[in-house]
Amino acid sequence: MRLYLDPGHGGSDPGATGNGLYEKNINLDIALRIRNILTNEYNNVQVRMSRTTDATVSLNQRTNDANTWNADYFLSVHCNSFNGSARGYEDYIHSSLSDGSQTAQYRNQVHSEVTKVNQLRNRGKKKANFHVLRESAMPAILTENGFIDNPSDAALMRSASWRQTVARGHVNGLAKAFNLTKKPGSGSIYRVVAGSFKSRDNAEQRVDMLQSKGINAFVDLVTISGQQWYRVQAGAFTNRSNAEEQLTKVKNAGVTDAYIVHESR
C-alpha cells in the first residue's frame, strides 16, 4: 500500500491557532508518528509525505505529488477551530462521493478506529469540496483531530501520548482498510517502562519530564491483575541490548525505577 501522508499547512501557513498552539505543528507531529508506526510495524507499506518539516507547500504541490507518485490513498491530517466552544473529531471525504463508494468504506474504517481511542466528541462523518479531496486521483480522507481553540481539546493536543494514541488510531484504521499485515518480529519484544501510575495525570507528568530531556515516551493503558494502570513506555525493541541502552538513558534522566518488560510474540 502506497500512502500519501499530508500534514496540513506548514511554513508560512500556520493553520488554525489557539491556546498557544499552532495547527501546523500538531498536524506534523501526528503525521510523523503515523509514518513511523506504519514503516516500523507493517509489511509492504510505502509512505510519502507532503512535508516532514515546517515547510511551506501549496495545495497543488501536495495533490500533484501524490498523483505523480501514484499513491493508493491520500490521508490529510488537520486540527479544527471555530468559536472556542466547539469540540471534537470529524473527518471528510469529497462531497461528490456516495456513502457506498470505496472511499467511504475506507473512511468508515479510519473513523471507527480513531474515535475508539481519541477521547474526543464524535462529530461524525462529513463531506466537503476541499482541494486535497477533489484533486487527488486516489481515495482520500481529511481528518480534523479536535478544535485547537477549545481549551479541553487543546489540552489533549499538548500531550505527546495523546498524539501517539491518535496516530495509532489512524494506523489501526488503515491496517483494517487495506488488510495490512504486521512485520514478523524476532519472537520477542522488550518494552522500556518508565513508571506505572493509577493516575493518568501523574503518568502524563512523567511523559512530559522525559520529553523535556529528549526521550520519546507515551502513556499506555494496561490491565494488571484486573486493575487498570497508566504505564509510561519509553521504547519497544526486538533487540534486548537496544532496550538496555534506552533503559540506561531513562535512568540517567532521573527515573531510577525504570525497567524492561519482555513479551513473547
In angstroms, the CA 118 to CA 189 distance is 26
169 and 142 in contact (C-beta within 8 Å)?
no
Of the candidates 144, 204, 244, 263, the residue annotated as catalytic is 144
Task: Answer whether 23's CB lies under 8 Å from 14's CB.
Answer: yes
Listed in sequence order, the DSSP H helices in 148-225 are 151-157, 160-177, 200-212
- Cβ neighbours of residue 83 closer than 8 Å, sequence gap 6 or more: 149
C-alpha cell read off for 68: 505523480
Residue in 176, 190, 161, 177 with CA at minimum distance from that of residue 33: 161
Q: How many CB atoms lie within 10 A of CB 162?
A: 23
Residue 97 burial class via C-beta count within 10 angstroms: exposed 0-12, middle 13-18, buried 19 and up: middle
- Is 263 catalytic? The answer is no
Catalytic residue ranges: 144
